[in-house]
Amino acid sequence: MSTHASSGRQWTKTEIDRLIVEDQFHLRGLEVTRLDTFVDAAFAFVLTLLVISFDEIPSNYADMAVAAKRIPAFAASFAMLMVFWLRHRRWSRRYGLENSETILLSVALILVVLVYVYPLRVIFELLFSSISGGYLATSFEIETYDEARGILVFYSGGVLALSLLFNQLYRATLRGSTSLVLNQIELRVTKVNMQVWALVASFALLSILLALVVPDEWVSVAGYMYFALFALMPIPSFLDRRRNAEK
pLDDT at 1: 44
pLDDT in the model for residue 4: 53
**For residues 96-107, average pLDDT:** 93
Pairing mode of beta strands 25-26, 21-22: antiparallel
* pLDDT over 80 at 2, yes or no: no
- Name the band, by pLDDT with cuts 50, 70 and 90, for residue 57: low
Which range (7-16, 128-137, 170-179) has the least confidence?
A: 7-16
Q: Flag whether the pTM goes above 0.75.
A: yes
Using alpha carbons only, what angle is made at residue 229 by residues 92 and 194, rounded to the nearest 5 degrees?
35
Q: What is the pLDDT of residue 53?
A: 55
Q: What per-residue confidence (pLDDT) applies to 49?
A: 83
| Res. 118: pLDDT tops 50 | yes
Q: What does 16-44 look like in DSSP terms, one character per residue?
A: HHTS-EETTEE----S--HHHHHHHHHHH
In total, the chain counts a number of residues equal to: 247
Domain boundaries, the chain: 19-245
Return the bridge partners of 98, or none. Answer: 6
- 183 has a pLDDT exceeding 60: yes
